[in-house]
Structure 1
């Protein structure tokens, strides 16, 4: 399943010109989906329709898929029914996200709506909600899953719970989404905004690191910025993230040589399948560069987790093998060539047997 980037919009807290500019900017960086909040509408049906129709029509002209986040109160406020989703089709939405669930049979029926609207489910519960819906023979291609975001500091999901919730959807082949938070955006749907991540551990991390982490889990297909408006620098940083393998940002040592630079940055790295706890070994490069000399430097030191080392001339057949240090150790037959960005050390847990990975210069 191809992975995508997304943004969030809050038309009841914004003006169209600002949303339009944000849509243009996000589109220019390859973003493809929009989470649009409809939880806080306060105007009448006609005014709400006109406002959302304008934004959605423009977003779709730029190639975005638009999912409206709704709650039961919206149906009451707009005098519409779950048995008739024509309002959302007419306003131009591609789907609706159910903030609250029903009995399973209802969601399954909704997935067969005559308008082809996607029914997106709340993923942030470790219960058999999805399984129940699927037992009612839901229309699977029209079922998505999306986690919540959490405006209050300390209130977002812990990683182990997030994993369990996400695995329930991923094992069924359902498209999944989760939120990252901009460090510059100023608002969301509510009056509290300490950021809008799905995972608490992401709240103060750079947005591209959050994005790398969600994709690295292998559990999330769409990464969406929860708050608005992210800066252009953040959109650009997200757009450069490799969505299909971990790409570490590395700060190289000043003494790195040309051979080591080539090994680091000009090769596809693969962790050996017969793994070791001490380091993640990329061994094919030693065969490619076996004839290249590599004098010792930065070798008589204590290597720590996240250091990247390459075997020097004293390492025999292992000369020019690249390793990421997972457990602290010393070995004078290895040169330290750099260290992985501190914020990205969380990604080391996802370099598994036969994992592919790359390096980018910090």
Structure 2
């Protein structure tokens, strides 16, 4: 089983070590276990090495898996080649990210490095790059994929392109990652920082909504906050995200009945396999609560996309069935009990036949 991780990013070329350490310690408290770093410049090699070794050791002691993003220019400055990765093994990292591709054969050979360093590939290209590398019999357990992030507003990936790129990796069972943007962080690798998400649609969304969508695709294993430093509230909300099934955090109606709260939050929901265009139906509650009364309330107005409704006493055998509205309609036999938050509405497209989902209070 591939376990899904939450990750942080730090930028030692621009940051204060004590602030990085405090950030890593805080992230550890909330279950973050992956770290992304980039080495942007090398002045004095010995000083650069010592600086990175220190923060990487702090991360290692806290249980982080650390990846470092390296450009060809840095290799030139260090006077080393991609075939000799001893410098990075001495830093203490778990892997290196190759932002620039080679000929396939080179990447495959690098994956057999004697230090057992993971080789992470750039996922944000919809070409047969990975297939080419694997055709050279790469060491697959040591090949990961990670999308880019995009500091400039308007330059993040579109959803169709992102899905196409990600599917190329996931069909081979490659471990994958993508970035979300903190609304608090103002630090990245460059002097432009409009947030650092992979997807353009995520740039200004609450961080938990970004992560929920990425995990719900089934194509992304690790979600990493691209910019530093996320607030503690953001770390806490991201830590609360269910990484393994879709979970909505609804806005509830004031008059929701106790039995309706029990149905929403106390059950494992799934969309019926015989799906329709009007609503996503979760029907087990009508069986379990068939004898429980549910008086009408909030049932006269037209329901809108994202409304959550439960059948009331007037709905016969469908009493206490849960439905999420996908098309506007009106039906007084249903009580509106809540609504999917606006920032989570794009999760509705993930509700396929048999999709398992839950409702959570935060």
TM-score higher than 0.5: yes
Secondary structure of 2:35 counterpart? strand
Residue 22 of structure 1 pairs with residue 23 of structure 2: yes
Contact 2:42/2:74 (8 A) holds in 1: no
For residues 318 and 110 of structure 1, what CA distance do their matches in structure 2 show? Answer: 60
Which runs of at least 4 in structure 1 moved beyond 4 Å after TM superposition?
A: none
Secondary structure of 1:247 counterpart? strand
Contact 1:122/1:148 (8 A) holds in 2: yes
What residue number does 1:178 align with?
Answer: 178
What does 1:269-284 align with in structure 2 at a 5 Å threshold?
Answer: 269-284=269-284
Query: For residues 173-219 of structure 1, what are the alpha-carbon distances to aligned partners after superposition, in whole Å with 9 as ceiling and x for unaligned?
Result: 00000000000001100000000000000000000100111101111
For residues 28 and 77 of structure 1, what CA distance do their matches in structure 2 show? Answer: 37
What does 1:1-362 align with in structure 2 at a 5 Å threshold?
Answer: 1-38=2-39, 40-361=40-361
Q: CA RMSD in A?
A: 0.7
Question: Which 5+ residue runs of structure 1 have no aligned equivalent?
Answer: none
Secondary structure of 1:34 counterpart? strand
For residues 83 and 319 of structure 1, what CA distance do their matches in structure 2 show? Answer: 66
Deviation at 1:118? Answer: 0.2
Secondary structure of 1:337 counterpart? strand
Deviation at 1:42? Answer: 3.4
For residues 169 and 44 of structure 1, what CA distance do their matches in structure 2 show? Answer: 38
For residues 149 and 22 of structure 1, what CA distance do their matches in structure 2 show? Answer: 20
For residues 83 and 121 of structure 1, what CA distance do their matches in structure 2 show? Answer: 16
For residues 15 and 95 of structure 1, what CA distance do their matches in structure 2 show? Answer: 23
Deviation at 1:45? Answer: 1.5
Contact 2:294/2:313 (8 A) holds in 1: yes
Query: For residues 299-336 of structure 1, what are the alpha-carbon distances to aligned partners after superposition, in whole Å with 9 as ceiling and x for unaligned?
Result: 11100000000001111000000000001111111010
Q: TM-score, normalised by structure 1?
A: 0.99
Deviation at 1:80? Answer: 1.3
Contact 1:44/1:78 (8 A) holds in 2: no
Q: TM-score, normalised by structure 2?
A: 0.99
Query: For residues 58-103 of structure 1, what are the alpha-carbon distances to aligned partners after superposition, in whole Å with 9 as ceiling and x for unaligned?
Result: 1000000000100100111111111210000011010000010100
Deviation at 1:239? Answer: 0.2
Q: Give the number of equivalent residue pairs.
A: 361
Secondary structure of 1:13 counterpart? coil
